Amino acid sequence: MFGYVRPFKPYMRMFEYDIYKAVYCGLCKDMGRRYGFVTRFTLSYDFAFLSLMDLSVRGVKLDAEKQRCIAHPLKKTMCAKCTCNLKYTSSAAVILTYHKLRDDIADKGLKGKLAAFALLPFFKKPYKKAAHLYPDLAPAVENAMELQNKIEREKTAGIDLACEPTALMMQAVAGGLTSKHDECRPLLERFGYLLGRFIYI
């Protein structure tokens, strides 16, 4: 569910990769500022991609500057500034990570369960905050996770049915990039749905 939508660096020009890294770093800082330091360690490539989509859909010009980060404390790197407003992506990351941790407790081996148990307390308060900000997204993700658990318990053999919950989850996430009345919303939802199928498969 996380970390599959990666940049293919050989196809990217230098400035494009710099933009990607700046958005990734900006999202990391935004998550820490809004939801606490620990949430930054769960950031994945998927949400950097979602942030780029968000900026594009809203027509926001990237505003970046050189800043220090926890990964490279001695060398400043380009980082998207808070003026880009990455609130939705930060919130979506927290909502999905919270449910992934709960799913790991149910599904993973001992090592995975222990890691999820250790992280989950740090996500309970941020999850409530994010769910309050986006009341449509949180229940959509929760319903998709419940459906996923049901399908897994029934040991469904069909790939189409098995990947449906992840597709519905990503449909809700991508659809949230714009308002309910925006004409782009159905296109974004369809893109998210197909991306969700790809991620699951």
Residue 1, domain member (yes or no): no
Which domain-ending residue is among 55, 84, 113? 84
Answer yes or no: do 150 and 179 share one domain: yes
Burial of 148 (0-12, 13-18, 19+ CB in 10 A): buried
Residue 92: inside a domain = yes
- Lowest pLDDT segment from 27-36, 106-115, 158-167, 174-183: 106-115
166 shares a domain with 178: yes
The answer on pLDDT for 2 being more than 70 is no
Task: Based on the fold, state whether residues 40 and 94 are members of the same structural domain.
Answer: no
pLDDT at 37: 93
One domain, residues 193 and 116: yes
> Residue 144 above 70 pLDDT?
yes
Is pLDDT above 60 for 1? no
Of 27, 50, 84, the residue that ends a domain is: 84
99 and 144, same domain (yes or no): yes
Residues 171 and 77 in one domain: no
Mean pLDDT of the chain: 90
- Looking at the domain assignment, is residue 4 inside a domain? no
Question: What is the four-CA torsion angle of 151, 156, 161, 165, rounded to 10 degrees?
Answer: 20
Which residues, in sequence order, are CB contacts of 14 under 8 Å at separation 6+? none
**pLDDT of res. 109:** 76
Q: Tell me, yes or no, whether 50 lies in a domain.
A: yes
Per residue in 7-28, pLDDT tens?
888 899 988 999 999 999 999 9
What's residue 98's pLDDT? 95
Same domain, 108 and 63: no
**How many helices (H) and strands (E) would you count in the chain?**
8, 2
Give the count of alpha carbons within 13 A of 100, CB side only: 17
- pTM for this structure? 0.90
Confidence at residue 105, expressed as pLDDT on a 0 to 100 scale = 87
Looking at the structure, do residues 96 and 163 belong to the same domain, yes or no? yes
| 149 domain-assigned | yes
Q: Are 97 and 191 found together in one domain?
A: yes
Q: Is the pLDDT of residue 91 over 70?
A: yes
Q: Is residue 2 part of a domain?
A: no
- Please tell me which residue, 53 or 156, carries the higher pLDDT value: 53
Whether residues 60 and 131 fall in one domain: no
3 occurs within a structural domain: no
The single-letter code of the amino acid at 157 is A
Percent of the chain with pLDDT over 90: 56
List, for residues 177-191, the tens digit of each pLDDT value: 987 778 889 999 999
Domain enclosing residue 33, as ranges: 9-84
Residue 113 has pLDDT above 90, yes or no: no
Per-residue model confidence (pLDDT) at position 106: 82
Number of structural domains found in the chain: 2
